[in-house]
A and B are shown apart, each in its own frame.
Chain A
Amino acid sequence: MSAVEVRGLWWRYVGRDDYALKGVDLRVERGELLAIMGHSGSGKTTLALAMTGIIPQRVPGEFRGSVTVLGRDTRVVDASEIARGVAIVFEDPEVQFVMSTVEDELVLALEPLELGREEIRERLEWSLELVGLDKSFLGRSPLQLSGGEKQRVAIAAALARRPQILILDEPTSDLDPLGKEEVLTAIRRLRDELDLTVVLIEHESEFVAELADRVVVLSGGRVAAEGSPAEVFSRVEEVKRHGVHPPDVAELSARLGLSSVVRFEEAVSALGDALSGLDARGRAPAPPEGGGVVLECRGVEHVYPGGIRALRGVSLALREGTLVALVGPNGGGKTTLAKVMSGLLRPTGGEVLVLGRRIEEYDRLTLSSTVGYVYQNPVHQIFNKSVYEEVAFGLRLRRLPEAEVRERVKRALELFGLSGLENEHPFFLSKGEKRRLALAAVHVLDPKVLIVDEPTTGQDMRFNEQLFELLKGLAREGRTVVVITHAIPLAAKYADRMVVLKDGRVIADGPPREVLLSPAAREGRLTLPQVTRLALELKLPFAPLSVDEVVGALAGSRR
């Protein structure tokens, strides 16, 4: 008997015209690790909820077909009963925490099982140990843990119930590289040590290639591809169309016309010969240094009222026409620095100069026209009743003539692909559209410096690539673009400069290649792009930052 059997599943949320799932057929075998991938909005989370019985029992909508979980029909058996065998961990661990200590959070998960005190205690310690945490975490507040620890506590809370099926819905998307590694180590351990069926929803194909037994790609609510990681990722162009970016090594082997490899270890032996002809002369030219300095931080310090020292003497000069990636572990001071640079926080030491003038000398209106800041969660900065009003807000605040407002809003909406949605209420936009709207609303003010805080979180690779292309385009027009991101491969591919911030200090600053190959990359826990790691492993004459660069260099060396 399969762990999960989905037959001809159609699901439409109440009030929506389109179906989120359109005739999905799927089996998950007992003990296997199945990865579900696909573009944002492809129906991955909906399918996960259908596997828990929450759809159709707790979420209103139209349901057709059937889902059988551990032999139980989700239309018949109550969701709370199904929950005894199935546990799910969502993308944002903070939202799922209900209690204020790790111990209480785990105990709450066990409440419906009506266990004895001793057994609960035993399960708490067992589940924490399994995800690499110890008893000392029991008394801590989940909200004060690091991203990786939070997600591991959420997984522990799920495991404590000893489910037969564990569903992980993008468990690493909100995490920095260190947090990702911590969670992946925990998942590896679950796979190796427990007889557990795992359904993993994930965007990062490299993890999937390493961990999964089987991959299902969803697109527009349908199963678009299914098979082993090797089978699925070898169809490079096809899966890319569905918002799935195959691992670098899979794409590289396909582009070199070699038989497909999807795992790093395989690639080291399989691609060595093909890459031996790589010539350092073929590497991409060094990124431009940029024009004049538009914003400068001199020994900037920031101490929060509670005494937390977020910035410790940061000095940085941003030049026009460059795309700067601000990277580093969570809590390193990236967002604080961005807010100090945009005048939303006052430095408690040092000074910030914008176009040569001290930032304190600017009034809010002028400063926000010069340095734009786009928030991590776009919902925080969307507060008008229509898309048009949202983009026009800043222009009207500056009392521009209505004709000019119309023209500039039109151009901004076109640039960010929002034309036709002028009268739509922002509340009803998709996550990606909200993100683009937030960008358009700041970009329309024509700031010299545009700071974008973690725009790639929870988005698929296709969206992220488009976004970086767009930001790169803005930099080429002469703007200074600062992107705070954990997406190192994207930053490596697109950024002109990479600044690593850790513990409130700049520990590296320079062209991405230089920074990623420096010891600071290890200190800042930056995960190198897979293709870069491959080149280092093979001791190639230079370390490429993207597949494009390898292919370009090989073509150049053949000429």
Chain B
Amino acid sequence: MPTVLAELIGVEARSRRYLGLHVLSKFLLPLSISLSLIYARDPLRALALVAVSLAACAAAGVPLSALRKYLAVLMSMSAFIVLAFSLFTQIPGRVLFEWTLLRVQAERGVFEWKLSLTDAGLSYAAAFILRILAMVLSATLLLATISDRDLVWGLLSLRIPFGACVAASLFFRGVHMFASDFYTIREAMMARGVDFERTPLARRFLLYANALIPLLSLMVTRSYEVSLALESRGLSPTSRTASGYYRFKLGRADYAVIAASAALLASFAAWGWFA
């Protein structure tokens, strides 16, 4: 059963045991990691959460090599975050490095724009980067372990309305189609002579804005066609469904994962509370 990430980029968790868990367990674990982020405001707790996320991914058999692309994006984001903290915020703390970029002497006083690197600023930046990393890992864990079947029949077994279950499944398929259409349209522009590598940024932005015309057109058409296909099978958001073809039951492993998720959230909440 291909997972959402397998359909999007061909990456799938390898642990059959984890993939066989109830959808509730597979939802709760990444959710508890994401919620714990609220309490992980310093680098140490954020790092601990990254470690937990990594351990969860490893337990589920998510091929971490597939995360290389994310990590590359995260590295460039990290540099941006550190720069933003240094250039645009004055976080009080022990100054490690300081450089005045601009100094304006006026009648009413002096305006100074300083690049100020403090220990607190660095700590904030590090916590921020680690929290993003934990978020990326938990999202990967979720997408690499849930499938259409989980989304539709698993959620239905939790008495979530049919419309919401199918919409969740179609959302991920829609993302895939949207991305695929976008690349085709970009290619079609190249076929007419557009050289994106040599096009100035502003012009490139306009071209991408133009791409929205066919993208929206395709989205409208596809949504219409999918809704017709569903309606013609007698399926509507309010449909009653009770075939029980797939039986989703919580097993011991599920209870263990659910308990671990709750414990994780509780411990981070307590750690945050008492810190």
B194: which A residues are within 8 A, CB to CB? 364, 397
7 A-B Cβ contacts within 8 A? A84-B234, A96-B225, A100-B148, A112-B241, A380-B184, A381-B188, A385-B213
> Lowest 9 A-B CB distances belong to which pairs?
A83-B234, A96-B229, A381-B188, A364-B195, A368-B193, A80-B234, A112-B234, A100-B148, A95-B225
Asked if A98 meets B213 with Cβ closer than 8 Å, knowing A112-B240, A393-B192, the reply is no
Q: Which of B45-53, B77-85, B91-99, B214-222 is near enough to bind chain A?
A: B214-222
Among A54, A100, A385, A394, point to the contact of B193 (Cβ < 8 A).
A394
Q: Give A184 to B1 CA distance when docked, in angstroms.
A: 30
Number of residues of chain B lying within 8 A (CB) of chain A: 54
B7-A161 in contact (CB<8A): no
Asked if A104 meets B185 with Cβ closer than 8 Å, knowing A79-B231, A99-B169, the reply is no
A95-B226 in contact (CB<8A): yes
Indicate with 1 or 0, residue by residue over B101-126, a CB within 8 angstroms of chain A CB atoms: 00000000000000000000000000
B185-A383 in contact (CB<8A): yes
Question: Which chain B residue has the least Cβ–Cβ distance from A55?
Answer: B228
Please give the residue numbers on chain A whose beta carbons come within 8 Å of chain B beta carbons, in ascending order. 49, 52, 54, 58, 79-81, 83-84, 87-88, 90, 92, 95-96, 98-101, 104, 107-117, 120-121, 139, 141, 157-158, 161, 306, 342, 344, 363-365, 368-369, 372-373, 375, 377, 379-385, 393-394, 397-398, 426-427, 441-442, 445
Residue B242 is within 8 A (CB to CB) of chain A in the complex: yes
Please give the residue numbers on chain B whose beta carbons come within 8 Å of chain A beta carbons, in ascending order. 1-2, 7, 10, 147-149, 152-153, 162, 166, 169-170, 173, 181, 184-185, 187-195, 210-211, 213-214, 217-218, 221-222, 225-236, 239-246
Among A49, A115, A379, point to the contact of B217 (Cβ < 8 A).
A379
Q: Give A383 to B190 CA distance when docked, in angstroms.
A: 12
A109-B245 in contact (CB<8A): no
Among A112, A383, A384, point to the contact of B235 (Cβ < 8 A).
A112
B243-A120 in contact (CB<8A): yes
A116: which B residues are within 8 A, CB to CB? 243-244
Q: Which of B213, B229, B239 has the most CB of A within 10 A?
A: B229
Q: Give A95 to B246 CA distance when docked, in angstroms.
A: 24
Min CB distance, B223 to chain A, in Å?
10
A117-B245 in contact (CB<8A): yes
Asked if A90 meets B228 with Cβ closer than 8 Å, knowing A108-B235, A111-B235, A380-B188, the reply is yes
B193-A111 in contact (CB<8A): no
Q: Which of A120, A157, A379, A380 has the most CB of B within 10 A?
A: A380
Among B162, B185, B228, B242, point to the contact of A381 (Cβ < 8 A).
B185
Q: Give A427 to B219 CA distance when docked, in angstroms.
A: 12
A380-B240 in contact (CB<8A): no
A108: which B residues are within 8 A, CB to CB? 152, 233, 235
Min CB distance, A215 to chain B, in Å?
24
Question: Which chain A residue has the least Cβ–Cβ distance from B232?
Answer: A88
Asked if A344 meets B187 with Cβ closer than 8 Å, knowing A96-B225, A383-B214, A385-B213, the reply is yes
B230-A397 in contact (CB<8A): no
